[in-house]
Chain A
């Protein structure tokens, strides 16, 4: 790991940590707000998976595309979606990415490349393939990353999508955030293979497994895949092995996660381990804490702004069903 670290500049390391801190603070703050009755809403926590999205996003350009899932707040943050737009959708206010009409599971911000977030497991894969198809047709070298869980790789959509991408050699990176659970079911109960990355062989594309708790390792794996895709070499499946410390949704206690496993994973928590890497690279404890505190303050300010915002009007809620203001009614 240390040799890989040496390849990154101080700015890049700082960017990784900042992205991780923002995601961790955002997730933790919204959950705390739900718990104490400050907001009535739903989120699917990504606590523990911050390093994956931070590492992946560092390998991307702003115009590269991302498709992600309900458990995607860390992906949204890393790809640059403004916090007020994320929180606005989570809380359903008019500052949200879709003026409060999408909800936590449906955040889109094309200006930063976030083209779709979906709550239907596996279904982002075919759409990501279409985004990559468009890039190829455009003659553009932009790349699409599709982010999803281990459970998603058991769906027909995943298999149909990756096969099409490999067959058409499309510029797409399939990023599996293997957090070892699909909802409440451990990964070993739902697949007969040890590595999700092995699924790549079946369609004829490269598949790699990487330590998803290490943002630098994830960055390097995704960077290789992105470079291959940009150069016309087709798709790659990157499996980033990580862990989800919280339950499936805010409110799920995660009672089905064995204590031993939790203890073992706590020792690998990227929010604890990455600061060691940063120290090795010359960051002081004060530098590291400053970034964490600034992230907390940024999240707090965004929440303050968003909580004050109005919910969408009735007119807003019934618009955008069709283009050109068409309203279909039975009346």
Chain B
């Protein structure tokens, strides 16, 4: 067992970028405000331009399509660019580059070009920033053959998954939750610690119901599991960590034991990521389930102002209620 120490997700991501820049000359970062002294609105890249120079940590104009396009072109030539889209809501401007070019380059060239880019972006949900600065858009990318989508919930996962993403031969969208940047957790010391893409992780064991979640919603899911435990319901909490490809083996394994599933995410429930997971559970475990699969997440509205944001987004209560539903117990409150 390697030694660990407690650091934040912000520090964990910074360490992963640092290790990549230090060990692989083909890695470079590009995006808005990334370089010191600004070091980004999320302060994730602090110190990296000072250590590696402005040729490795490149400030760009406000040009999301050009940021991703430049990353793609460089990747065609053997580089492993890590491009930052400051806030996920801005990713629409780069959508063509991501969906039509990065994701399909390998296929449409029969493997003659490959596009090993990593796109880091942050979800500002829960910061009171309103409709154009708070969306959880992971489902958009889960729909695109050729992409990989990663959304970690804690510092150790963030570091290990980001290192794997940068080394991965396919384009990876790496999602960070702004509200989790300060969240601390134990992270192994030293270089070379990787967490494979496409592998879910059991964050809490339980036998009564499986709560399937990821990213920012994991905080809510773990809190809901505490509430449920206090009422005698033992929830297993599965952190998907990677959304494309989905670790359905882990999902099916857990749900076939608990026979009940609640999928909890910050994205809107309608046509959200939970729809795919629920459909696969229903197909594979039809007849073994003790209750219909439940999905909880955001209401189908844009995200309102700070005062009302909580009213439309995923809450601990939503998960508790859905879990109790699957147990056949109605909330008396």
Enumerate chain B residues within 8 angstroms of A127, measured Cβ to Cβ.
69-70, 72-73, 76, 97, 101
Q: Is the CB of B245 within 8 A of A323?
A: no
Q: Is the CB of B100 within 8 A of A115?
A: no
Interface residues of B in 50-96 (CB under 8 A from A): 55, 60-61, 63-66, 68-79, 81, 93, 96
Shortest A205–chain B CB gap in Å is: 14
Contact with B along A148-161 (1 / 0, CB 8 A): 00000000110011
Q: Is the CB of B78 within 8 A of A321?
A: no
Selected contact of A110 from candidates B81, B112, B170, CB within 8 Å: B112
Contact with B along A117-161 (1 / 0, CB 8 A): 010100101111111111101100000100000000000110011
| Distance in angstroms between the alpha carbons of A127 and B63 in the assembled complex | 13
Enumerate chain B residues within 8 angstroms of A163, measured Cβ to Cβ.
61, 63, 66
Enumerate chain A residues within 8 angstroms of B106, measured Cβ to Cβ.
320-323
Selected contact of A106 from candidates B72, B108, B168, B279, CB within 8 Å: B108
Enumerate chain B residues within 8 angstroms of A109, measured Cβ to Cβ.
112
Q: Is the CB of A135 within 8 A of B112?
A: no
Enumerate chain B residues within 8 angstroms of A132, measured Cβ to Cβ.
73
Q: Is the CB of B110 within 8 A of A320?
A: yes
In the complex, which residue of chain A has the Cβ closest to the Cβ of B79?
A134
Enumerate chain A residues within 8 angstroms of B76, measured Cβ to Cβ.
110, 115-116, 127, 130-131, 134
> Does any Cβ of A come within 8 Å of B192's Cβ?
no
> Does any Cβ of A come within 8 Å of B129's Cβ?
no
Known: A126-B66, A156-B93, A164-B63. A102 touches B110 (CB 8 A): yes
Enumerate chain B residues within 8 angstroms of A101, measured Cβ to Cβ.
107-108, 110
| Distance in angstroms between the alpha carbons of A150 and B244 in the assembled complex | 38
Q: Is the CB of A324 within 8 A of B69?
A: no
| Distance in angstroms between the alpha carbons of A114 and B38 in the assembled complex | 38
Shortest A127–chain B CB gap in Å is: 4
Enumerate chain A residues within 8 angstroms of B73, measured Cβ to Cβ.
67, 115, 126-134, 144
User: In the complex, how many residues of chain B place their beta carbon closer than 8 angstroms to a beta carbon of chain A?
Assistant: 48
In the complex, which residue of chain B has the Cβ closest to the Cβ of A96?
B110
In the complex, which residue of chain A has the Cβ closest to the Cβ of B104?
A106
Q: Is the CB of B66 within 8 A of A116?
A: no
Interface residues of B in 271-290 (CB under 8 A from A): 276, 279-280
Most A Cβ at <10 Å: residue of B65, B101, B145, B244: B65
Contact with A along B91-121 (1 / 0, CB 8 A): 0010011001100111111111110000000
User: In the complex, how many residues of chain A place their beta carbon closer than 8 angstroms to a beta carbon of chain B?
Assistant: 46
Shortest B227–chain A CB gap in Å is: 33
Selected contact of A98 from candidates B74, B112, B168, CB within 8 Å: B112
Selected contact of B69 from candidates A103, A161, A322, CB within 8 Å: A161
Q: Is the CB of A131 within 8 A of B66?
A: no
Selected contact of A123 from candidates B55, B70, B77, B101, CB within 8 Å: B101
> Does any Cβ of A come within 8 Å of B160's Cβ?
no
> Does any Cβ of A come within 8 Å of B31's Cβ?
no
| Distance in angstroms between the alpha carbons of A130 and B114 in the assembled complex | 14
| Distance in angstroms between the alpha carbons of A137 and B73 in the assembled complex | 12
Q: Is the CB of B61 within 8 A of A164?
A: yes
Q: Is the CB of A330 within 8 A of B276?
A: yes
Selected contact of B113 from candidates A116, A133, A167, CB within 8 Å: A116
| Distance in angstroms between the alpha carbons of A204 and B88 in the assembled complex | 31
> Does any Cβ of B come within 8 Å of A97's Cβ?
yes
Enumerate chain A residues within 8 angstroms of B168, measured Cβ to Cβ.
323
| Distance in angstroms between the alpha carbons of A288 and B170 in the assembled complex | 48
Contact with A along B10-47 (1 / 0, CB 8 A): 00000000000000000010000000000000000000
Given contact pairs A129-B69, A160-B63, A322-B170, enumerate 13 new A-B contacts (beta carbons under 8 Å): A102-B108, A110-B112, A123-B97, A125-B69, A129-B73, A130-B72, A130-B76, A133-B73, A134-B78, A137-B74, A161-B63, A164-B60, A164-B70
Residues of B that sit less than 8 Å from A by CB: 28, 55, 60-61, 63-66, 68-79, 81, 93, 96-97, 100-101, 104-114, 145-146, 148, 168-170, 244-245, 276, 279-280
List the 9 closest pairs (A to B, CB-CB), nearest first.
A130-B73, A126-B69, A98-B110, A134-B77, A323-B169, A108-B109, A160-B63, A160-B66, A130-B70
Selected A-B contacts with CB under 8 Å, 14 pairs? A102-B109, A102-B110, A125-B69, A126-B97, A129-B70, A129-B73, A134-B73, A157-B97, A161-B69, A163-B66, A164-B70, A321-B107, A323-B106, A323-B170
